[in-house]
């Protein structure tokens, strides 16, 4: 069978074939785009503009920094827990679960577990690897994993489509860094609200998004800041 090395001829031939393809048939690229966008995990509206694709990406590892890092991670997974996504807190036993609930997290879809300080880093990594395979979202504080173990766990995260938030020190190569910095406090007879500047730095596309929110707002949750 003869063939042509002329790219313009090939392009024209492909175009002629596509003209006869039934309208219900999609190209592989269209299927990939639909699959990737349909799997984005929903996020609370005040945080939506922070994430480039408007939600949490399956297979992504995010690092949270700043005074409000823990609150940001909890607020980010809140909407997903109402969409039947299970979340695990790892090494966060001191977390105030009432505050987590106020941020909108569905506690009946949350599990919390920790590793003893006496376990080895390999055992620590083994537990985290199991969590990223078993849960939709994982929020982990200072996971004790070697660089090679971190790479192996990151591969599992991508393979299983889980979403991971890291707090504290770690050896992971992350997809994006989220920084949450307090800019103002509001009081009446007690703390009423905290204004936060949030920045999202995408390590792959070298771009930064930012926004201001109240976290917590006067009801203990997260809300947009227009001022």
CATH (domain of 184): 3.40.50.300
> Residue 188's pLDDT is what?
78
Whether 19 is covered by a domain: the verdict is no
Domain that holds residue 117: 42-224
With a pLDDT cut of 70, the percent of the chain lying above it is: 82
Domain presence at residue 31: no
How many separate domains does the chain show? 1
Provide the b/e sequence for 69-84 (b: ≥16 CB within 10 Å).
bbbbbbbbbbbbbeee
Task: Say if 65 falls within a structural domain.
Answer: yes
Say if 9 falls within a structural domain. no
The C-alpha atoms of residue 126 and residue 129 are separated, in whole angstroms, by 5
Low-confidence ranges of the chain (pLDDT < 50): 1-4, 29-37
Q: Can you tell me whether residue 142 is helix, strand or coil?
A: coil
Tell me, yes or no, if the pTM score tops 0.85. Answer: no
Residue 109, domain member (yes or no): yes
pLDDT of residue 143: 93
Q: What is the pLDDT of residue 85?
A: 95
């Amino acid at each position: 069978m003869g063939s042509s090395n002329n790219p313009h001829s090939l392009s024209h031939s492909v175009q002629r074939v596509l003209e006869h393809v039934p309208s219900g048939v999609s190209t592989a690229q269209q299927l990939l785009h639909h699959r990737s966008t349909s799997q984005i995990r929903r996020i609370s509206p005040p945080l939506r503009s922070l994430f480039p694709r408007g939600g949490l990406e399956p297979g992504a590892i995010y690092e949270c920094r700043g005074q409000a890092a823990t609150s940001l991670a909890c607020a980010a997974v809140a909407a997903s827990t109402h969409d039947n996504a299970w979340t695990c807190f790892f090494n966060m036993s001191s977390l105030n679960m009432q505050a987590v609930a106020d941020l909108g997290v569905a506690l009946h879809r949350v599990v919390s577990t920790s590793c003893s300080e006496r376990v080895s880093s390999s055992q620590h990594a083994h537990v985290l690897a199991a969590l990223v395979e078993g849960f939709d979202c994982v929020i982990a504080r200072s996971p004790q994993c070697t660089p090679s173990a971190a790479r192996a766990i990151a591969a599992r995260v991508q393979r299983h489509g889980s979403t991971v938030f890291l707090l504290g020190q770690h050896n992971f190569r992350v997809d994006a860094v989220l920084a949450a910095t307090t800019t103002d406090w509001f009081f009446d007879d007690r703390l009423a609200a905290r204004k936060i500047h949030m920045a999202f730095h995408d390590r792959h596309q070298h771009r930064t998004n930012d926004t201001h929110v109240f976290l917590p707002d006067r009801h203990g949750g997260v809300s947009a800041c227009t001022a």
